[in-house]
Structure 1
């Protein structure tokens, strides 16, 4: 079988299910613990502030290691990295469920983050091997759908599990799912041509981790209003280490940070579009629940219900966009989706004082529909514009762009809430709308790139 032609049926179906299971677990676990943090802190006899590291440690490790694991996938094989990621993620999920202290739970979550990073780093590179080139857009549509729904459904899934069981089951449920995914991976995932004579650049891996880690620590510190002297020191350290990191990549024929891919105009434009759009998404998704519960006085159940139209609309439009890529230029399709997304965000910012469920739901659906219409074409462009032997780097950059946007958006929410105590959500939504407009303009520029 020639991997450039994709997998034959039904092997393709098995491989798609494997990818979907892995990425669902990895993305879902980024938000699923948020709902249970108060009860976890109580059970483990720790403070609310200290318990935040259960979430932050997981996200930070993914961001710090994603590009390194993408590079490793090109050297030893995407399938191997994915299978190791499944084993580590599932094993550490069991350790999380059995944890009896904040220290053991935090360490298990950090190691679980390494597993999640392995899954995220190569999933789109594997899609390029699974699908024939003519149908890659459909695969990207399904992948975008899975990621969007997993990210948005975290609180709802957590609430459902917690209504039936205690918090350790939030992690224990990953174990049987991981076993199923690993069994399917062994049977269905394709192999890729590896570079046995190429060695992993460990120094670049360390510099990459320090650069991204310090950047997000500085961003979070500033958003939380911490001492500006310390924030300035963190920023300077980020710039110094980041400069050394980038200079090392410029002289490397196989850079960890794929600067060679960023020289491709349509690739770099797509990365910028992704960062802006995911930042806008998080500005909305993190701030809106506060508006629903603190301003409108809605319950957690009502909040979950009103958030649902967003992923539902994405569920409908993402696969449609995946098919439209075959007929409509991705830059134009993405620009249209982002324009619709911005309309949804601005309309949420202009909600009446006492909105009805329908008035909220229709605006959330507009946001989800626009985001779904944009994400599939953008992911397709990022992966397909890179040479096939650089699919790992493209996959890593796609995931890194998403994480940079999401983490920046979350930090901006904290900053807006600290600066605008009475109308923080309104400012977040307007800012998100502006970012979506900027992303739409950048996406449109890809038409001639």
Structure 2
């Protein structure tokens, strides 16, 4: 796939798109390395899983604080620091002598990855003209999808030939290249960049990190000694303490006025609902393809790649549609396509087999891209430039919460629909029935987002009236 001519003429946009690509590779590349890591370190599967969990928790817990830091000291500085941290920690991952040291390195890699996935969204309006914002947002979505699609195949190829460390080394070298390009491209830009006064609420950052960490643990702990029954009440208390701190802090991590903006809250909630559904195709799909349709691992990988590749192809056109017809109009259209795609995914694989599964991914994934490009554009237009860093962090936070929730909740829903057959899982008919029920139920999430979107124009009108009265 060719990048649009806009990127060729704009090296700053190339850096931002490349950063999004590398951040996505940080998540997807490690998934294929888990069996190799278990063999190399003679580690149990639960221990090896923390290579994935550590990155996701680090991204989720740090993304808001880093967005706030970008508002205070400048987005360019933080982007360069994020690239440097990601590159260094990736090389540390490749050289890790034990599974515990690898997990620690992944935490720092996740902090760098949070920068790479959050700041491009807020910086995009400073590197392209307003009329091209939607196209640029679509390019970022494309790079995220390409990273998701390339990760397993690139990781599998390098690990098979050169060992588990090769994948981390490859992504680290790519980050080093982007770091060099960013320093050269953005030279002199940071001194002229607008910044916001204030400081970071470190206590609030710690409380938020603890709350998000326990939330992520509750979603991934299964039936261990620290299961959801123990962790969710702790999570609720920590979130309550965080909310209290934000009201009391002189310079809150998340400005109360920003969170109180009902349009922003609506957009963040819709983002969480949709990304929860996005993760469902990754965590539930393999069960249907393997146990329901009888495919082997290689064939499953090829079929699963259809979704990310379709996202990669449709990302830029989705952005162009947003530019042409307006973001507010494209949000409900994207949600409608997601609803139709989920219903098709629930039914067509049972009727048409593998072809039906692939066709529904081609139908479903462009809906995700249309929604994300349009919703991000609408959301970023609601705040001033000096608040876009923290707002982009909040968008990233809602996305990652959706991923964590989807990875656990959708699997749990599938297991519930499967019932006692979960352990045996030998009857393709039962698997197909559970798969259909899961995705028919999943349509409730984008439907809820669509209903919420109906209130957005009314909220915007109310906000304008309140601003006029204040004047």
Give TM-score scaled by structure 2 length: 0.87
What pairs with 1:215-230 in structure 2 (closer than 5 Å)?
Answer: 215-221=215-221, 224-226=222-224
What pairs with 1:11-410 in structure 2 (closer than 5 Å)?
Answer: 13-189=10-186, 190-191=189-190, 192-195=193-196, 197-221=197-221, 224-226=222-224, 231-252=228-249, 254-353=251-350, 355-410=352-407
- The reply on whether 1:432 has 2:442 as its aligned counterpart is yes
CA deviation profile, 1:185-215 (whole Å, cap 9, x unmatched): 11223432123x5222211111111121122
8 A Cα contact 2:20 2:116, kept in partner: yes
Task: Tell me the matched-pair count.
Answer: 437
Ranges in structure 2 where 5+ consecutive residues have no aligned partner: 1-5, 423-429, 460-471
CA distance in 1 between partners of 2:50 and 2:445 (Å): 29
8 A Cα contact 1:318 1:375, kept in partner: no
- The reply on whether 1:415 has 2:412 as its aligned counterpart is yes
CA distance in 1 between partners of 2:384 and 2:369 (Å): 26
CA deviation profile, 1:26-64 (whole Å, cap 9, x unmatched): 112212211221121011111111110111011111111
Q: 1:343 to 1:14 in 2, by over 3 A?
A: same
Q: Shift of the alpha carbon at 1:18?
A: 0.9
8 A Cα contact 1:62 1:117, kept in partner: yes
CA distance in 1 between partners of 2:224 and 2:164 (Å): 31
Q: Shift of the alpha carbon at 1:331?
A: 3.2
CA distance in 2 between partners of 1:232 and 1:13 (Å): 51
Q: 1:305 to 1:82 in 2, by over 3 A?
A: same
8 A Cα contact 2:314 2:366, kept in partner: yes
CA distance in 2 between partners of 1:38 and 1:230 (Å): 25
CA distance in 1 between partners of 2:143 and 2:59 (Å): 18
Q: Shift of the alpha carbon at 1:86?
A: 0.9
Q: Shift of the alpha carbon at 1:417?
A: 4.3
Q: 1:116 to 1:52 in 2, by over 3 A?
A: same
8 A Cα contact 1:81 1:119, kept in partner: no
SS of corresponding position for 1:52 = helix
RMSD, aligned CA: 2.2
CA distance in 2 between partners of 1:110 and 1:10 (Å): 31
More helix by share: 2
CA distance in 1 between partners of 2:384 and 2:152 (Å): 38
Aligned partner of 1:4 in structure 2 is none
CA distance in 1 between partners of 2:447 and 2:153 (Å): 29
Ranges in structure 1 where 5+ consecutive residues have no aligned partner: 1-8
8 A Cα contact 2:25 2:171, kept in partner: no
Give TM-score scaled by structure 1 length: 0.91
CA distance in 2 between partners of 1:303 and 1:440 (Å): 32
CA distance in 1 between partners of 2:122 and 2:72 (Å): 13
438-447 or 97-106, which moves further after superposition?
A: 438-447
CA deviation profile, 1:147-206 (whole Å, cap 9, x unmatched): 2332344323323333443221110102321121011111223432123x5222211111
8 A Cα contact 2:327 2:378, kept in partner: yes
Q: 1:92 to 1:353 in 2, by over 3 A?
A: same
